[in-house]
Amino acid sequence: MISFWCLLLWITTTLAFSNNGSSVQSNSTVNITSFSNVSSPFGYTNGNTSNSFHYRGVALGGWLLLEPWITPLLFNATIPASGNTSEMAVDEYTFCQVLGKDEALKRLHNHWTTFYNESDIQDIKNYGFNMVRVPIGYWAFEMLPDDPYVPGAREYLDKVINWLHKYDLKVWIDVHGVPGSQNGFDNSGRFLNNTPGWQNSTENIDLSHRVLRKIYTRYGSSEFYSQYGDTILGIEVVNEPMGPKLNMTQVADFYEKSYKDARVYSDTNNTIVFHDAFQPAGYWDPFLNSTGSEPGRLKNYNILIDHHHYEVFSAGELNSTISTHLNNIRNYAMGIQREEQSHPAVVGEWSAALTDCTPWLNSVHFGTRWEGTFPYTNKPINNKYLGKCANINNWDTWSKQHKRFTRKYIEMQLDQYESKMNGWIFWTYKTENSIEWDFKKLAKYELFPQPFSKRQYIVDGVDTKPETGASARLTPKDSVTVLMVMLLAVFLF
């Protein structure tokens, strides 16, 4: 799941959709002839899965790789008896470090066993999804000598693949964290104040490749295929590498080598997924493209470009009217549609969030832009905060306006991501407390359409019931008014 730096880059990326933008340089582009000796893949070799499959998916965030905002109870339990929150865990790395390996393993096994089980997968199928994205950290396969992590998550990856096969769902294995952290976000397993350390040593890169080879060998084997068929839809080599803070030539080199390894170590022609690394649309057009910089796909490559989109990680986005949010989605989807001339693509992460109020969303010790709390001092409306966050996860305090805006925002993303690219994956299926990021709660409260095609507001990219005037912005007055009415009701009755 994206952290705050990612969406500071969103404006730049969106603007780039209006032109060709820069692209991966020719000296970083794969030499196509270097793949001439790769053996013919086993299994579904006659079709490009990433081209033909239309993704309607959901992620199992916070399960096999912890994220504090998804499962805050796990992290609250690491606060020492002194009550000093500065000593609590802020990511999976410090979760294991603070508790020690034995206690961390005990708690994680309980979490892995209880947070998701077979009934969840059956429900996912019944909701109408056709695939699931499963994030997992490198340490489930191999660790650095001084890593505090504990092993065991791979066993549950195998379990969920078995469940998914049983219910005729596809799976996308997502390497969500690599050694040194590819972005410095807590979603990589190690929070480094949003500064990546992945490229700081060759040991990190070498281990990343070894982990991927183990994944390719295990989940791309003919033996695995004979048991599970084409349940494995794709493998993402690394989630959200923070390109603007990394050496992009090295990122492209890692992608190229990872792809070649996939075709050498796998018997199957699984789709290999590359995140856009927060680069402008069109940046990856020449990459693994049979015609270089010119449009055109080579089906045998079977790759997919993964884009992530949120609009809550800058004060400007938060202060947008709902019509601006909806227009942003249209522009974003149009950019990806043009990019698809070279590669198939999906929006592999998106949410219903119109605020950044979910506790710890920006990391454990960070506040929110919505309230302008540390480290965020930006207050865009008359130097005041946008609103209060206290009741963001209390459904009874949500205004009709907030509910309507959220439903519109979801519907527009469904409309555009389904019609202009290869589909979408919602982040995430469930959380302990959040509403804006929790599919199950959104469906329960009738904000996420069921079925997905049931639209109340958006038809062919058009808001059929547009907002006007001051009502077009989710305002502090609206949320505060709801709370005041409730308090008044308690006082009077």
Q: Which helix (H) or strand (E) holds 236?
A: strand 232-236
Assigned token pair, 130: 């056709």
Active site residues: 240, 309
Number of Cβ within 10 Å of residue 220's Cβ equals: 23
The answer to whether residues 321 and 277 touch, using CB atoms and an 8 Å cutoff, is no
Assigned token pair, 390: 């206290």
The answer to whether residues 234 and 164 touch, using CB atoms and an 8 Å cutoff, is no
Give me the residue label for tokens 């058009």: 462
3-state SS, one letter per residue, for 303-367: EEEEEEECCCCCHHHHCCEHHHHHHHHHHHHHHHHHHCCCCCEEEEEECCCCCCCCCCCCCCCCC
Longest dimension (CA), the chain: 80
We report the CATH number of the domain holding residue 287 as 3.20.20.80
Report how many domains make up the chain: 1
d(CA 221, CA 375): 48
d(CA 280, CA 289): 17
Burial of residue 492 (CB within 10 Å: 0-12, 13-18, 19+) is exposed
Amino acid at 205: I
- C-alpha 484: how far from its chain's center? 36
> Angle between the 118-127 and 153-166 helix axes, to the nearest 10 degrees?
40
Identify any residues that bridge with 354 across adjacent strands, giving them in sequence order. none
The answer to whether residues 380 and 387 touch, using CB atoms and an 8 Å cutoff, is no
Angle (CA) 28 262 191, round 5°: 75
Q: Which helix (H) or strand (E) holds 338?
A: helix 322-339
d(CA 230, CA 96): 35
Q: Which residues lie below 8 Å from residue 185, measured CB to CB, with a gap of 6+?
A: 2, 3, 5, 191, 194, 240, 242, 363
Amino acid at 415: D
* pLDDT tens by residue, the chain, 493 residues: 654 444 444 433 343 333 334 566 533 444 444 444 444 333 333 334 555 799 999 999 999 999 999 999 999 999 999 999 999 999 999 999 999 999 999 999 999 999 999 999 999 999 999 999 999 999 999 999 999 999 999 999 999 999 999 999 999 999 999 999 999 999 999 999 999 999 999 999 999 999 999 999 999 999 999 999 999 999 999 999 999 999 999 999 999 999 999 999 999 989 999 999 999 988 999 998 865 444 444 445 889 999 999 999 998 899 999 999 999 999 999 999 999 888 899 999 999 999 999 999 999 999 999 999 999 976 655 566 788 999 999 999 999 999 999 999 999 999 999 999 999 999 999 999 999 999 999 999 999 999 999 999 999 999 999 998 767 888 644 444 433 434 333 334 3
Give me the residue label for tokens 């469906």: 443
* Distance from the first to the final alpha carbon of the chain: 44
d(CA 250, CA 450): 43
Assigned token pair, 176: 């969500």
What are the tens digits of pLDDT across the range 96-127?
A: 999 999 999 999 999 999 999 999 999 999 99
* Domain coverage including residue 317: 4-492
The answer to whether residues 350 and 426 touch, using CB atoms and an 8 Å cutoff, is yes
d(CA 44, CA 266): 12
State phi, psi for 374 to the nearest 5 degrees: -45, 135
Q: Can you give the pLDDT at residue 298?
A: 44
The answer to whether residues 278 and 221 touch, using CB atoms and an 8 Å cutoff, is no
What are the tens digits of pLDDT across the range 293-345?
A: 444 444 458 899 999 999 999 988 999 999 999 999 999 999 999 998 888 99
